[in-house]
Amino acid sequence: MLGLTVDGRESPVEGGESRDPRPGSRVPVAILGATGTVGQVLVSRLATHPWFKPVALVASSATAGRKYADAVRWRLPGPIPADAAGLETRDTPPTDVPLVFSALSAQLSAEVEPQLAAQGVTVVSNASTHRMLADVPLVIPEVNAGHLALLEQQRQRWPGAIITNPNCVTAALAVALAPLHRALGLERLVISTMQAASGAGYPGVPSLDLLGNVVPFIEGEEEKIPRELNKLLGTLSDDGITPAGIRVSVHANRVPVVDGHLMTVSAGFRRPATAADVSQVLHEWRAPAIAGELPSTPAHPLLLHSLRDRPQPRLDCALGEGMTVSVGRIRDCAVLDVQFAVLGHNLVRGAAGAAVQLGELCAVRCALSA
């Protein structure tokens, strides 16, 4: 695998070719919330996945028993994957598969996901419901794969597991911030988000509220991001996760962009740091070897842009099939130490793609069986 540095030169990243944990077979999986926005991206990404085979698509009772092609209002470019189109939707999750990808709402996930874990199923959840529980791993493979060790505590409750990926903003931020925290010690962050319309689902924000406008409030975002960042960047011990202790101030805004969350960040560090220091740390960062084994890990998990007007959602959010996080405009800050911009695809790196990658990590680390 190769990583792309700030001046465009390529350099090696730890890891190598992805490996199938079960040669000759694909692990059967189910998708919960398969007709929703994130569910559709899960269906699309899993249809031809080398390790996983979707065998059950779960939706509401209103669509149960219908072919997926008839049950879903498909919103993605291109046709519905053929194998998924002919599957019959159901309104009850299966318990005879080892792995479930959940795109349920927070309310439904609170009920359904523990029931599945209690029956021995591993659930990769995109919902916020369980993320901050002490024994539930909140994981990004490039950032904190070792936090899967929390499952030893969680399995005192049930034979299965609930594992979570972070909020769509936090997912991109953590990839960019983790190397800086380890090298320089983050203390303070001031973050403004410019979040795409697709992050609100479908039909989402009414068009007359968003066209030609910016909405400076998104329910729950300004509270989730600090909590999740501090858990992701925290330290694992026998007692669980000790949060990173970073003071985070967030301004969340919904903007008239289809896909791609752009964040502007001002960062203060434990010791004085400059834009050159930040650039060097990100230039030298390498994804850990475990991430390199996973099919969904892009060739360039972190891409540094040297052009002064990049990254931009329209141009950059789909890099690495949506899994690349872009960083640019790194410069000294007059208030804190350094400021920069971070961009991630909210439906891929921030949701469905992150969940699939996390499922791959489970396949490697948790001995899933077909």
Interatomic CA distance for residues 171 and 131, integer angstroms: 13
Are the C-beta atoms of residues 323 and 345 closer than 8 Å to each other?
yes
Are the C-beta atoms of residues 290 and 145 closer than 8 Å to each other?
yes
Q: Whose structure tokens read 């439906």?
A: 347
Interatomic CA distance for residues 313 and 298, integer angstroms: 18
Q: Whose structure tokens read 């309310």?
A: 107
Q: Annotated catalytic, 362?
A: no
Interatomic CA distance for residues 185 and 157, integer angstroms: 35
Which residues contact residue 297 at a Cβ distance below 8 angstroms, ignoring those fewer than 6 apart? 1, 15, 18, 141, 142, 287, 291, 323, 357
Comparing C-alpha atoms, which of 31, 15, 30, 49 is closest to residue 360? 49
From 130, 147, 168, 300, the catalytic residue: 168
Put residue 51 in one of left, alpha, beta given phi > 0 → left and psi -120 to 50 → alpha: alpha
Q: Annotated catalytic, 147?
A: no
Comparing C-alpha atoms, which of 116, 118, 178 is closest to residue 147? 178
Comparing C-alpha atoms, which of 324, 220, 210 is closest to residue 258? 210
From 130, 147, 181, 261, the catalytic residue: 261
Active site residues: 168, 261
